[in-house]
């Protein structure tokens, strides 16, 4: 089993063209960096503001999706754009299942997992007020509904972050220590700790780690 992530930038059309171009460049850099951190991960930006990710270790998908959300929130802070973009960053859909073919060089991701994540992203995009979706192929509906709600609650917490909180949690999710974050951001370590505490880092960290420890094959039988 692998995971795919389908995502899009919320209200991207509210950005000035030059700002959208710069955001895309920054996103490409982020995706390249994530490929160095997460073995086998690769992604592409399609249709201007949509992202498709191949995640061979399915349990890493939620951390990666939250990292992308935090990154966009950081990048659009202070830009002239709609409040929804600054609050939500991206909407994302995770599909866990099989894949028929995936090749970065050929720029192709094909199979049930990407069909699920893409279809569910389209569904939540039409709803307008839903920003996450999650589905495991062939899993009981009750299990999918449970994890879908779990992912939504975590994402909703991240939506409340200020840009300053978002950047601290972003680096913490990448494994940086507080002293390293303070040096990187040019702020006191006590400020890092305060932002982390106010963003409920302990809860976020536990929630993502719990997700990463789920054994879907065992659960689904």
Average pLDDT over residues 159-170: 97
Do residues 76 and 86 touch, judged by C-beta distance below 8 A?
yes
- 165: tokens are 């909180």
Average confidence score pLDDT of the chain: 94
pTM tops 0.85: yes
What is the predicted pLDDT for the residue at 100?
Answer: 92
12: nearest Cα among 114, 66, 58, 81: 81
**Residue 157 near residue 69 (C-beta atoms within 8 A):** no
DSSP secondary structure of 153-181:
HHHHHHHT--HHHHHHHHHHHTT--HHHH
How far, in Å, CA of 219 to CA of 203, rounded? 24
Q: Give the pLDDT confidence score for residue 202 in this predicted structure.
A: 96
* pLDDT for the residue numbered 219: 61
Rounded mean pLDDT of 176-195?
97
Burial class (CB in 10 A: 0-12, 13-18, 19+), 163: middle
Give CA 80 to chain center in angstroms: 23
Phi, psi of 75 (to 5 degrees): -70, -35
Of 106-120, 154-168, 207-221, least confident by mean pLDDT is 207-221
User: Per-residue pLDDT for 48 more than 90?
Assistant: no
How remote is the C-alpha of 45 from its chain's centroid?
Answer: 14
User: Has residue 114 got a pLDDT over 90?
Assistant: yes
pLDDT at residue 55 tops 70: yes
């Amino acid at each position: 089993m692998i995971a795919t992530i389908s995502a899009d930038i919320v209200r991207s059309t509210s950005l000035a063209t030059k700002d959208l171009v710069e955001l895309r460049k920054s996103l490409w850099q982020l995706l390249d960096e994530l490929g160095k951190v997460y073995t086998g991960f690769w992604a592409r930006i399609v249709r201007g503001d949509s992202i498709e990710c191949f995640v061979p270790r399915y349990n890493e998908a939620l951390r990666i999706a939250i990292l992308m959300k935090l990154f966009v929130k950081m990048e659009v802070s202070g830009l002239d754009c709609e409040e929804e973009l600054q609050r939500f960053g991206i909407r994302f859909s995770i599909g866990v299942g099989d894949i028929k073919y995936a090749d970065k060089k050929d720029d192709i991701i094909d199979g049930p997992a990407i069909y699920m994540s893409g279809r569910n992203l389209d569904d939540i995009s039409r709803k307008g007020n839903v920003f996450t979706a999650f589905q495991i192929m062939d899993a009981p509906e009750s299990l999918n509904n449970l994890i879908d709600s779990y992912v939504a609650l975590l994402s909703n917490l991240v939506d409340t972050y200020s840009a300053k909180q978002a950047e601290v949690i972003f680096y913490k999710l990448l494994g940086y220590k507080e002293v390293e974050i303070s040096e990187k951001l040019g702020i006191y370590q006590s400020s890092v700790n305060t932002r982390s505490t106010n963003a409920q880092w302990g809860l976020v960290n536990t929630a993502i780690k719990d997700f990463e420890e789920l054994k879907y094959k065992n659960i689904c039988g």
